[in-house]
A and B are shown apart, each in its own frame.
Chain A
């Protein structure tokens, strides 16, 4: 597999799996507004995944659906951060939301400058939508930091997820992003070891099973 296809799959898998996790709040979020917000963010992420899979599929001589749903669990390249299941824990959900969206911003910004016109164009298009995800994540960080209980929950969750979050970005983008998170949250987080792609979280197998169930029941199904 080409380096290009490999990197596109990492991005696409992150967005697909996170979109799936975000959609687990549909119907049960703490408020109707958040029900709508997480459902809409999930829809965007899965839309981004599809466009990225299409770009990779053209290189690999396959289709977006086959890439999204026909691979074995070990073949997916998502970062373990997005595989973790948090429902019904809102504190961890917001910590991941903030960590992922800010790391994704750094990654997308780098891709917008790519010499590959298809990648740069799609990254710029994705970024237009991601702006709203970041605003939403920032809003919730402010909200949680403003209350003693919220602050404790957010900071504890951030510390717990930090090694996972470090696994999203390449080494060159990581330090600037990590510094930004430390400053924003006013918390000391050591760089430490990242939980890298390929080391799938325990929650992943059950999600893969659910995600691919229809395709496996009816091979080649279209909808």
Chain B
């Protein structure tokens, strides 16, 4: 009689996390879905890989693509993907990792300011944000809204360059 190990998983949670780190954001491919902080939990039971996915902005058209890419990646590892979309309040821009913020900055997107206890005011949003190109804080808000729901448009007075900034939510 042999002792059979019942936990002969196809993949481990750590392998899944590592694989999801390779999945690019559909709109800003410099960051991965793990950098964005949208993967809340990974649980492996036998072949089944359960991922809790917390969307960024509810109207973001990239959400389905993110979900499908994660499922495809898990299938590549040999797991059976089960990506659950969690529509609660657990994602905020504070979930973007330090590495993710640095990648955004390097690609010309100013990362979001940390979330404050109170909601932001227009006056707070007007000035003081750092230009991702030249580093100056002589920037002003040009438009609260930008090309995608997650971004605002700012203008740098120092290098005369418009740039996109992640909204803090």
Residue numbers of A with Cβ under 8 A of B are 33, 36-37, 39-41, 43-48, 50-51, 54-55, 117-118, 121-122, 124-126, 128-129, 131-132, 135-136, 138-139
Say yes or no: is B108 at the interface (Cβ < 8 Å to chain A).
no
Interface of A is mostly: helix
Closest Cβ of chain B to A110, distance in Å, is 16
For the A-B complex with A44-B58, A55-B87, A128-B89 known, give 12 more contacts whose Cβ atoms are closer than 8 Å: A36-B143, A47-B57, A47-B59, A47-B149, A50-B59, A124-B89, A125-B91, A128-B92, A128-B169, A129-B59, A135-B125, A136-B145
Instruction: Please tell me if the beta carbons of A121 and B59 are within 8 angstroms of each other in the complex.
Output: no
Closest Cβ of chain B to A53, distance in Å, is 11
Say yes or no: is B146 at the interface (Cβ < 8 Å to chain A).
yes
Say yes or no: is B88 at the interface (Cβ < 8 Å to chain A).
yes
**Contact partner, B145, options A37, A118, A128, A131, Cβ 8 Å:** A37
Instruction: Please tell me if the beta carbons of B89 and A125 are within 8 angstroms of each other in the complex.
Output: yes
- For residue A51, which residues in chain B have a CB less than 8 angstroms away from its CB? 58, 87
Say yes or no: is B122 at the interface (Cβ < 8 Å to chain A).
yes
Interface of B is mostly: loop
- 10 smallest CB-CB distances across A and B, nearest first, come from A47-B59, A121-B88, A47-B58, A124-B89, A40-B145, A128-B169, A37-B145, A43-B59, A33-B143, A125-B89
Q: Given A47-B149, A135-B125, A139-B122 in contact, is the A129-B57 Cβ separation under 8 Å?
A: yes
Residue numbers of B with Cβ under 8 A of A are 57-60, 87-92, 119-122, 125, 142-149, 153, 167, 169
Residue of A37, A55, A118 with highest tally of chain B CB at under 10 A = A37
What CA separation (Å) do A122 and B122 show in the bound complex? 25
**Contact partner, B119, options A36, A125, A131, Cβ 8 Å:** A131
Instruction: Please tell me if the beta carbons of B147 and A122 are within 8 angstroms of each other in the complex.
Output: no
**Contact partner, A135, options B122, B147, B169, Cβ 8 Å:** B122
Q: Given A135-B122, A139-B122 in contact, is the A125-B145 Cβ separation under 8 Å?
A: no
- For residue A121, which residues in chain B have a CB less than 8 angstroms away from its CB? 87-90
- For residue A37, which residues in chain B have a CB less than 8 angstroms away from its CB? 143-145
- For residue A131, which residues in chain B have a CB less than 8 angstroms away from its CB? 119-120, 169
- For residue B153, which residues in chain A have a CB less than 8 angstroms away from its CB? 33, 36
Closest Cβ of chain A to B166, distance in Å, is 12
**Contact partner, B58, options A33, A48, A135, Cβ 8 Å:** A48
- For residue B120, which residues in chain A have a CB less than 8 angstroms away from its CB? 131, 135
What CA separation (Å) do A50 and B55 show in the bound complex? 13
- For residue B169, which residues in chain A have a CB less than 8 angstroms away from its CB? 128-129, 131
- For residue B89, which residues in chain A have a CB less than 8 angstroms away from its CB? 121-122, 124-125, 128
